[in-house]
Amino acid sequence: MSKVDPDCRYLKSHEWARKNADGSITIGISDHAQSALGDLVFVELPAVGKALSAGASCAVVESVKAASDVYSPVSGVVNSVNSALTDSPEIINSDAYDAGWMFTVTPSQTDEFDALLDAKTYEAGLES
């Protein structure tokens, strides 16, 4: 069974979003997604300063099995990236919700975060 972080919101495409105290939102892929992909060998992160639209492809994760797009759960501007993933993408496999975060966004529309799936709803979708 995949781990689901109760403090995160989710997209059906298995990205997670966590609201930070400063109002920014940290984004990554879920434990379920990293498990389905297998050992990650490459991560392409969005550039700091890039404007993202909710639901649009913004990053790529590649495993020995396949490459997969990562979609932004919210609209906003990228304000930081987890550069450790460039040299060690496998961090996502070992710690998808903490050390394996991918990037942070300053959201431009606060209601988008609230519209994401809560952990309970996301987990129920995994089980069905």
Element (H, E) at 120: helix 119-127
Which pLDDT does position 127 carry in this prediction?
84
CA dihedral angle for residue 56, residue 40, residue 90, residue 106, rounded to 10 degrees: 0
Q: What is the pLDDT along the chain (128 residues), one digit of tens a residue?
A: 689 999 999 999 999 999 999 999 999 999 999 999 999 999 999 999 999 999 999 999 999 989 999 999 999 999 999 999 999 999 999 999 999 999 999 999 989 999 999 999 999 999 87
Distance, in Å, from the CA atom of 101 to the CA atom of 25, rounded to the nearest integer, reads 11
Distance, in Å, from the CA atom of 76 to the CA atom of 123, rounded to the nearest integer, reads 26
Q: What is the CATH code for 9-117?
A: 2.40.50.100
Contact 84, 77 (CB under 8 A): no
Q: Where are the domains of the chain?
A: 9-117
Model pTM score: 0.96
